[in-house]
Each structure stands twice: as structure tokens, then as C-alpha cells.
């Protein structure tokens, strides 16, 4: 799969002797988590994984050269049962996903490393990663961090910003920038799970009162958002802004000290 990760910051490219020479107390390891799942008629199954790699790769390129921050090989598959039924979606059961993260955490701890970042680009993984980050802190003493995507995209209309969270404008623009050959621009469709003008309290996401949903309930094509305004220029602009924020977050995570030590 295409990668933008700098080779010198990709841990699997090192030998075990090179890894052994890394400073255990300062090295920050980044575990990308994503998904292989449907993204409508116009985007590939690997959309979340490609976007994860694109943003993380550009962020790692912006770090000081002497900062010991390394990407681990990604967990390509995630909890994607909201998209099951669409051909090509490959989903892990929640227990399997949790077990993989726990086992990787144990391996990292056994090697003597102390800091682990989950860099996630698939919404279906968020809640499980939050749980595992806390559990690994408790069970193994790892200092764990969560980093979700690259933040908001400037200039997106309010409706798309609120509910264009799957194969909509932003994801489409990022792939138009990074892998334009994989975007079928003649196959755009538009669906929204909710409207920003809805006065009700019950929302699908990010509210005090929510309802559980499956993609097939509200989006026959699999798209939640409107990809039609997407451009490669915006994709590169958002990639730069998002990777800037990710790089800054990684520096803060590397520099993090326990509150009681301050």
C-alpha cells in the first residue's frame, strides 16, 4: 500500500539492534489504526488507512530530526460493523480489536518502551481505543495517548462539517490530493445522517442524547456527506494544516511529563 511515512521513522525498517539503541524513556511510538471498509461508489476501501498514512507521514516529516518518534506498522482492520453488508468491508469484532491492541501494548512494554500513541482515522474505533488507552495505562504502566485525525478542515460548510464524516468532501479531497487515481469523480452520491438545522436533542453523534445507527439505515450508497465540492487543492491545503497540528501534538506527547512531576 502507498506510504508517505519517512523510511527513517518507520520502526519496522530498523533492525532489532537499531531498535535496542533507542532511548527507552524518550522514544514515542505511534500506532496507526484505521479500517478497510466501503466508502461509497467513488472512494476505495482503504480510504481511512490511506488518509491515516498521508497525514501521519507529512507530520513526521515536520518533526525535528533528533526527536525519537517512530511509526509502527498500521492496524489496517478496525471495528467496522456499521458498514457490514457492503461488499469489501472487512471488520474485526470488538473483542478481537481490543485483543490486538492489548497484545501490541504488551510487546511494546516488554521491549522497554514507555510511550505509545494511538493515531486513529476511523470513527468506529474511537470508543474502543479510548478504553484500551486507559487499560494499558492501568495494566502495563504505559504512558498512552490518543490522537484522532488532524482536526477541522477550514472552509467546509456547517452541514458538511457536522455530518460529512464518511466519504464526504474532506476525505474525498485528501484522496484527490494523495491518490487521485483511486477517486471515481463520476460516481459521487450525497447522503446525510442528520441536518444541522434540526431543533431536536436526539443526534447520531457528538450529543448528550444519541441513537445507534448502521450505514444502510440512512445511506444506500454508503456515503455520509457530499463529496462534490472536493478539490485536490483543498486536499493539499487541509493536509498541510492537519499534519501541522499532528506534528505539534506529537511534540507535546514526546515532551509530556506527569502532572505530579511539574
Model pLDDT, residue 201: 93
| Residue 258 covered by a domain | no
Check whether 262 has a pLDDT greater than 60: no
Predicted TM-score of the model (pTM): 0.96
What digits encode the pLDDT tens for the residues 9-42?
Answer: 999 999 999 999 999 999 999 999 999 999 999 9
| Residue 2 covered by a domain | no
Model pLDDT, residue 206: 83
What value does the mean pLDDT of the chain take? 96
165 and 153 Cβ atoms separated by less than 8 Å? no
What is the residue range of 81's domain? 8-253
What digits encode the pLDDT tens for the residues 58-73?
Answer: 999 999 999 999 999 9
Model pLDDT, residue 126: 96
| Residue 120 covered by a domain | yes
Closest CA to 130 of 108, 106, 147: 147
Overall domain count for the chain: 1
User: What whole-number distance in Å separates Cα of residue 120 and Cα of residue 83?
Assistant: 17
Mean pLDDT of 155-177: 97
Mean pLDDT of 102-130: 97
Q: How many CB atoms lie within 10 A of CB 237?
A: 16
Closest CA to 255 of 141, 131, 121, 145: 145
Mean pLDDT of 176-189: 98
| Residue 39 covered by a domain | yes
| Residue 104 covered by a domain | yes
| Residue 1 covered by a domain | no
Check whether 259 has a pLDDT greater than 90: no
Amino acid at each position: 500500500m502507498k506510504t508517505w511515512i519517512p523510511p527513517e521513522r518507520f520502526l519496522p525498517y530498523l533492525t532489532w539492534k537499531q531498535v535496542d539503541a533507542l532511548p527507552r524513556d524518550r522514544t514515542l511510538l505511534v500506532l496507526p489504526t484505521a479500517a478497510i471498509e466501503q466508502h461509497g461508489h467513488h472512494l476505495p476501501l482503504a480510504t481511512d488507512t490511506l488518509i491515516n498514512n498521508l497525514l501521519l507521514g507529512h507530520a513526521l516529516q515536520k518533526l525535528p530530526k533528533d526527536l525519537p518518534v517512530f511509526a509502527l506498522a498500521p492496524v489496517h482492520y478496525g471495528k467496522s460493523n456499521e458498514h457490514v453488508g457492503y461488499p469489501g468491508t472487512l471488520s474485526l469484532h470488538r473483542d478481537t480489536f481490543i485483543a490486538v491492541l492489548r497484545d501490541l501494548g504488551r510487546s511494546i512494554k516488554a521491549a522497554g518502551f514507555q510511550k505509545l500513541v494511538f493515531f486513529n482515522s476511523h470513527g468506529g474505533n474511537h470508543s474502543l481505543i479510548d478504553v484500551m488507552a486507559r487499560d494499558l495505562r492501568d495494566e502495563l504502566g504505559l504512558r498512552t495517548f490518543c490522537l484522532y485525525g488532524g482536526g477541522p478542515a477550514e472552509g467546509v460548510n456547517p452541514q458538511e462539517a457536522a455530518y460529512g464524516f464518511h466519504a464526504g468532501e474532506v476525505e474525498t479531497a485528501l484522496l484527490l490530493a494523495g491518490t487521485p487515481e483511486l477517486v471515481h469523480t463520476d460516481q459521487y452520491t450525497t447522503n446525510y445522517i442528520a441536518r444541522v438545522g434540526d431543533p431536536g436533542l436526539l443526534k447520531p453523534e457528538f450529543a448528550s442524547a444519541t441513537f445507534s445507527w448502521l450505514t444502510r439505515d440512512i445511506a444506500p450508497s454508503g456515503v455520509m456527506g457530499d463529496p462534490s465540492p472536493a478539490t485536490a487543492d483543498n486536499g493539499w491545503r487541509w493536509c498541510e494544516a492537519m499534519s501541522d497540528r499532528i506534528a505539534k501534538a506529537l511534540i507535546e506527547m514526546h515532551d509530556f511529563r506527569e502532572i505530579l512531576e511539574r
